[in-house]
Structure 1
Amino acid sequence: MKKIIYSLFIGTLGLTSCSDFTDIKPKGSNLLQSVTDLEMLLNYEFQGIKATQQQLLCGDLYPQEMIPTVINRPNMTLTKIFTTWDESAHAKEQLDLTASDAHYTKFYEVIGKIANPVLLNIDKADGDDALRQQVKCEALVLRAYFHYLVVQKFAKAYDPAYASTTMAIPYLKETQDLLATIPQLTLEQVYTNILTDIYEAISLGGLTEEPVNQMRVGLPFAYAVKAMALMSMQRYDDAADAANASLALKSTISNYNDYVRDTPSPVMPSFVNQAIHRPFMDCEEDIFVTRDILGQMGISDEAWARFEDGHICRDRLFSGDMLIPGRKLGEAYFGMDINFSYDNDSKWNTFGLKTSQMRLILAECELLKGNIDNAMEQLDMIRINRIIPEKYVSLKGTVTSREEAVRHLKQTSHGENIYTYFNFVTRKRWNRMDDFKETLTRTVGDKTFTLSPESDMWIFPFPQNVISLNPSLQQNY
C-alpha cells in the first residue's frame, strides 16, 4: 500500500508500523481525490515551535532558568552545554540528552504530511487546472524551505570547497518508499534539490503575488527561499538577483514605530510604558509567517550591546524593567542582573521570512563587491523603520571603511533576527567568511566562555529516535 501521508513523526525516516502513519489512502481508497481536497492540506498553521537552543547557542537569549545554578550543578543539561559552550559535552553528553528533536520532527512533518502528499496526488486529482498548478507550486516551495531549515541545524555550513563530499541530511521526495532507508545526501545534493524544487515552482507559473494568507506560499516567498539558499551557497550575484525578484513583488518594510503603544504593567497597571506590539498575520513585511511569542527570555548583556542605540526591538520591547518601577528582576527570573523580555503579545515570525531579510542580502552582496554606499542604503531602508525617530541617523554617505560597514551590517542583522532562528543561521554562514567570522564571548558571573567559528557546536546532532530507526544516518561532526 502506497503511503500518501508520510507521518515522519519523524523520529522516523525509516521503518515504522502502518498504525503510526496517517493514512490518506486507507484500504486502497484515496480520500483526497480533488485539487480542492489537496489544497486543504496547505491550510496548515505554522505555530508553537521555538528557536530557544539556537538563540542560546549564538549568545543572544537565555531560557527562563536560574542560569548560574544550571552551569554550576555537576549534572549535564542541554542548557548547561549551550551556555558554557562545552565542546566535549557537545561531542558526547549532548547526543545522550537528545532523545528527540522538535525541529526535526516538525520540519519533516511539514514535508511528509503536507508537501509530499500534495505532490504525489496533484497531477491525477480532479479539478481546476489553474488551482492545480498553484497547489503544486506551493507544495514544492514548502518542501524546499523546510529542508533548508533542517540543513541549517544538522549539517555544516555550506562551502563550495567541501560541499560535494560533506554529508548533510536526507531529502525526502514524494516518490520515495518510506519502508526503505532514505539516504543521507551531501550538502551539494541537498542544496541542488532545494533549488530544483524552487526553480520548478517558479517556472510552472502557478504562484500568485498575493497568497491566500501569510501562512500560504506566494511568488515573493519562492524567490526569497531561492535567495536564502543561494546566499548559503556563496553564490552572491545569484542571491542578489533572487532577492531583488522577491522585493519587486513585495517590498514593504513595516515601521515598528507604528506598533509602539502605551502598555500598562501587568503587575502595576498604573505603571505605563511605551512598548512594541508586533502583529500576527497583519505585518506587511512578512513574506511567510510562523507564529510564536517571545515570552520570558533573558537577553544577554552581549546581545543587548550588539543592538544599535534606539532600536525598538530593544528599547521598546516590553521587558522586566517595565514591570515594577525601579526594580530589576533579572536575578529573580534568571539568577543574573540582566534584562529580559516579558512580551506575550508580539509575534516575531521565528521561522518565516521578511522583506527586511532580502534587504540584508542585498546589503551584504553590495558590501562584498566594495559598494559601501549601496550597502548602507539597503541597511537604511531597514533602520529607518526600526530606530526611534529622534535617534535615527542615515548611514549612507557617512560610512567609508569596509570594517565599519561590516560592523553596521552585523548590527542591523542582529536587531532584525535576534528573536528568530536566523541569527543562528546567519552567524553560522559567516563563520566561513574571514571578514565576518568572530569568536563569541559570554560572561556569567565571574566565568567567561567562548565559542569559536570553527566549533562543531554549530552543528546539532541527529536525535536518538532518528538514528535508531535509520542507523545509516551519520552525525555531521
Structure 2
Amino acid sequence: MKNIYNSILCTLVLAITFTSCDNYLDDAPKGSKVPTALADFEAFLRDEYTNQSVNVEQALTLLNDRYQTVADLAYYRLTKANYFWDETADRIALNQADETTYYGQYAGISTFNLIIENALKTTEATEEQKRIVWAEAKVLRAMSYYNLVNFYADTYVASTAATKLSVPLITSADINAPSKQVTIQEMYDFILADVKDALPYLPKVSQTALHPNLGAGYAFYSRVFLQMNNYTEALKYADLALAENNKLYNWVAYYNSNKAVIDIPNSYTNTPSPMGYDYVENYTYRHGATTRLSTEMSIPVDRAKRFEAGDARFLSRWKIRTVGAETYYRRTLSGMFNYGGITTVEIYLIKAECLARAGQLGTAMDVLNTVRKTRILPASYQDITAADVTTAMNAILRTKRNELILTLIPFTDARRLNAEGVYKVGFTKIDGGTTYTLSPESHLWTMPFPQGATKNPGNGTLTQNVAK
C-alpha cells in the first residue's frame, strides 16, 4: 500500500510538515507549519474532496441507477460491462483506470489514521475536545472501511466471513506501515471496535455536518449490524439513533412550493437541493463523486418506473428528457447531495425491516408510512398494510431503494439479500432488442480491485476477490 501513502503524504507535506515524518524531515522547512494544536488536525476532517467523498460509481452502474450515455458506454469498457451485466467480460483486465473508489477511500483512511494517532497528544485543547476529534476520526475511518469491504469483497455471511478475504487493513499513517488483507470477519470486527471506542466521546451536536455526532455513531452501528444480519442489534441502535434525530424532510411541501417551476413542460431549470449540509435528515454528511460535488445524477427510464406514483421526491429531482436517440430522466436539482453519509430515512427503514422480520408487521408498516407521508402526494397516498412478512418486506425494500438511490446502500442491501436467499434482487432489461439479465448469484456483485492496487500492493499482498 506504499503507493497510496506516497501520494497522500506528498499532498500533506506540501501544506504542512507533521511530527510523524521524522524519517524525512527533522526540522520544519522555512515557511511551513508543524501541526501541534488540535485545530490543525481537526481541519483535515473538513477536506471534502479527499476525506469526505464516497465515489461508488460502478455500483450505481451495475444497479442501473445512474444513467449512462451512449458515448460513455462506448468509451468506458468497464462501465459498459457492468451496465449491461456482461458476465463474460474480464473486468480485472478492464479495470486499469477506475481507481477512485479504492484510492479515494484509502486517502481518507490515511488522514483518519493520522488524526487518531495524534489527536490525543495535541495542544491548545481540553482532553474532552481531543477525545471528540479522535472519536470522529474513528467513526469516519470505520465508514470508509465499510465502503471498501462492501465494494471489493463478498458480502458478510457468518459461516464464511472468517475464511474469505476482504481488503487491506492499515491502521497507521506512517508511509512504511504494513498492510494486511484481512478476512471479512476481521474487517467487520475492526469496524465495530472503532465505533465502540468512539461512542462514549461523540458529541450530541456536531461541529459541522462533516463531523459525526452521537446519532451518527448509533446510525452507523445500526447499518453495520443490519449488514451482518443481526437484526436485534440493528433495531436497538436504530432506536438510539432516532432518539437523537428523528426528523424527516417534507418533500410534499417542497414539491408544492416549487411546482410552478418543476412542472413547466420541456424546462429543466434547476431548483435548489435541500439535501445539503443543513438537511434535517443528516446524521453525518459525505459527498458522492469527487468531480460532481454539486451535481445530481440523471437516471434511466426503466429505473424511474420503479418509484411510487405521486412520489414528490422523485418528481422534484428528475424530469424526462429526449436528446436525439436518447431518452432519460434528467436531474433538476442543483446544490449539494448527501450521497455518502447517513440520514434518518435510512434508519427509519432499517427499523421497519427489523420489526417486520420480528413479526411486528403493524408497527413496521407504521414506521414505513411515517416516511411515505412526507414523500407521497396526498392524491396518490394510501397507507400500506401487510398481512405477512413478505408483503411488508417488499414494501419496505422498495421504498428504501428509492429513498437511497445513488448511494452505496441499495448495492449493499442487494448483496445482503441475495446471500440470505429469501428476498433476492436481480434485474432484466431490454436494450436495442437484446435482453440482459443480472442474476442474484452473479459474480458481478463483487467489484475487482484496480490493477494499480494489485500490481503495486506496497507493504503487503493483495489477492483479487473475483475471477473476472
With normalisation by structure 1, the TM-score equals 0.85
Higher alpha-carbon deviation: 434-443 or 147-156: 434-443
Call closer, same or farther: CA 1:105–1:252 in 2, change over 3 Å.
Answer: same
Determine if the alignment matches structure 1 residue 425 to structure 2 residue 421: no
Residue 457 of structure 1 deviates from its aligned partner by 0.7
> C-alpha distance in 1, partners of 2:402/2:187?
30
Aligned pairs for 1:285-304 within 5 A: 285-291=281-287, 292-295=293-296, 297-301=298-302, 303-304=303-304
Residue 63 of structure 1 deviates from its aligned partner by 2.1
Equivalent residue, structure 2, for 1:450: 437
Determine if the alignment matches structure 1 residue 12 to structure 2 residue 4: yes
Residue 129 of structure 1 deviates from its aligned partner by 1.1
> C-alpha distance in 2, partners of 1:452/1:112?
36
Determine if the alignment matches structure 1 residue 223 to structure 2 residue 218: yes
SS of the residue corresponding to residue 88 of structure 2 reads: helix
CA deviation digits over 1:289-313, x for unaligned, max 9? 1244454523241x22221111123
Residue 29 of structure 1 deviates from its aligned partner by 4.9
Is the 2:154–2:166 contact (alpha carbons within 8 Å) kept by the matching residues of 1?
yes
Equivalent residue, structure 2, for 1:45: 48
CA deviation digits over 1:176-228, x for unaligned, max 9? 754254110000000000000100101xx321111011111111111111111
Aligned pairs for 1:196-215 within 5 A: 196-202=193-199, 205-215=200-210
Residue 462 of structure 1 deviates from its aligned partner by 1.0
Residue 463 of structure 1 deviates from its aligned partner by 0.9
Residue 448 of structure 1 deviates from its aligned partner by 1.2
In the alignment, residue 438 of structure 2 is paired with which amino acid?
Answer: L
Contiguous gaps of at least 5 residues in structure 1: 1-7, 322-328
Equivalent residue, structure 2, for 1:172: 170
Equivalent residue, structure 2, for 1:123: 120
Call closer, same or farther: CA 1:17–1:253 in 2, change over 3 Å.
Answer: closer
Is the 2:299–2:330 contact (alpha carbons within 8 Å) kept by the matching residues of 1?
yes
Call closer, same or farther: CA 1:430–1:35 in 2, change over 3 Å.
Answer: same
Equivalent residue, structure 2, for 1:364: 353
Is the 1:287–1:355 contact (alpha carbons within 8 Å) kept by the matching residues of 2?
yes
Call closer, same or farther: CA 1:296–1:123 in 2, change over 3 Å.
Answer: closer
> C-alpha distance in 1, partners of 2:387/2:82?
37
Determine if the alignment matches structure 1 residue 247 to structure 2 residue 234: no
In the alignment, residue 113 of structure 2 is paired with which amino acid?
Answer: N
Is the 1:11–1:100 contact (alpha carbons within 8 Å) kept by the matching residues of 2?
no
Residue 259 of structure 1 deviates from its aligned partner by 2.5
SS of the residue corresponding to residue 188 of structure 1 reads: helix
Aligned pairs for 1:372-391 within 5 A: 372-391=361-380
Is the 1:141–1:197 contact (alpha carbons within 8 Å) kept by the matching residues of 2?
yes
Is the 2:165–2:182 contact (alpha carbons within 8 Å) kept by the matching residues of 1?
yes
Residue 253 of structure 1 deviates from its aligned partner by 1.1
CA deviation digits over 1:259-312, x for unaligned, max 9? 22437779x8995989774341121001111244454523241x2222111112
Equivalent residue, structure 2, for 1:54: 59
> C-alpha distance in 1, partners of 2:100/2:250?
33
In the alignment, residue 413 of structure 2 is paired with which amino acid?
Answer: T
Is the 1:263–1:273 contact (alpha carbons within 8 Å) kept by the matching residues of 2?
no
Call closer, same or farther: CA 1:50–1:20 in 2, change over 3 Å.
Answer: closer
Residue 258 of structure 1 deviates from its aligned partner by 2.9
Is the 1:85–1:451 contact (alpha carbons within 8 Å) kept by the matching residues of 2?
yes
Residue 28 of structure 1 deviates from its aligned partner by 3.2
> C-alpha distance in 1, partners of 2:316/2:442?
34
> C-alpha distance in 2, partners of 1:121/1:177?
12
SS of the residue corresponding to residue 319 of structure 1 reads: strand
Determine if the alignment matches structure 1 residue 34 to structure 2 residue 37: yes
SS of the residue corresponding to residue 428 of structure 2 reads: strand
Call closer, same or farther: CA 1:341–1:422 in 2, change over 3 Å.
Answer: farther
> C-alpha distance in 1, partners of 2:118/2:86?
47
Contiguous gaps of at least 5 residues in structure 2: 29-33, 288-292
Q: Among 397, 401, 409, which residue is 1:410 paired with?
A: 397
Residue 373 of structure 1 deviates from its aligned partner by 1.1
> C-alpha distance in 2, partners of 1:122/1:465?
32
Is the 2:316–2:332 contact (alpha carbons within 8 Å) kept by the matching residues of 1?
no
Is the 1:167–1:187 contact (alpha carbons within 8 Å) kept by the matching residues of 2?
yes
Is the 1:438–1:452 contact (alpha carbons within 8 Å) kept by the matching residues of 2?
yes
Q: Among 186, 191, 197, which residue is 1:189 paired with?
A: 186
Is the 2:206–2:212 contact (alpha carbons within 8 Å) kept by the matching residues of 1?
yes
SS of the residue corresponding to residue 441 of structure 1 reads: strand
Aligned residues: 443
Equivalent residue, structure 2, for 1:95: 93
Is the 1:256–1:278 contact (alpha carbons within 8 Å) kept by the matching residues of 2?
no
Determine if the alignment matches structure 1 residue 399 to structure 2 residue 386: yes
CA deviation digits over 1:338-392, x for unaligned, max 9? x312335153311111011111111111111122112111111211111112211
CA deviation digits over 1:324-346, x for unaligned, max 9? xxxxx1x52xx444x31233515
Q: Aligned-residue CA RMSD in angstroms? A: 2.9
SS of the residue corresponding to residue 298 of structure 1 reads: coil
Call closer, same or farther: CA 1:120–1:411 in 2, change over 3 Å.
Answer: same
Call closer, same or farther: CA 1:165–1:29 in 2, change over 3 Å.
Answer: farther
SS of the residue corresponding to residue 419 of structure 2 reads: coil
Residue 94 of structure 1 deviates from its aligned partner by 4.1
Q: Among 159, 162, 165, which residue is 1:161 paired with?
A: 159
Call closer, same or farther: CA 1:11–1:376 in 2, change over 3 Å.
Answer: farther
> C-alpha distance in 1, partners of 2:298/2:270?
19
> C-alpha distance in 2, partners of 1:361/1:310?
23
Equivalent residue, structure 1, for 2:31: none
Is the 2:53–2:340 contact (alpha carbons within 8 Å) kept by the matching residues of 1?
no
Is the 1:442–1:450 contact (alpha carbons within 8 Å) kept by the matching residues of 2?
yes
> C-alpha distance in 1, partners of 2:71/2:40?
49
With normalisation by structure 2, the TM-score equals 0.86
Equivalent residue, structure 2, for 1:308: 308
In the alignment, residue 241 of structure 1 is paired with which amino acid?
Answer: K
Is the 1:61–1:298 contact (alpha carbons within 8 Å) kept by the matching residues of 2?
yes
> C-alpha distance in 2, partners of 1:400/1:369?
13
> C-alpha distance in 2, partners of 1:100/1:394?
43
Call closer, same or farther: CA 1:429–1:262 in 2, change over 3 Å.
Answer: same
Higher alpha-carbon deviation: 120-129 or 217-226: 120-129
Call closer, same or farther: CA 1:277–1:17 in 2, change over 3 Å.
Answer: closer
Is the 1:237–1:365 contact (alpha carbons within 8 Å) kept by the matching residues of 2?
yes
Equivalent residue, structure 2, for 1:324: none
In the alignment, residue 242 of structure 1 is paired with which amino acid?
Answer: Y
In the alignment, residue 39 of structure 2 is paired with which amino acid?
Answer: T
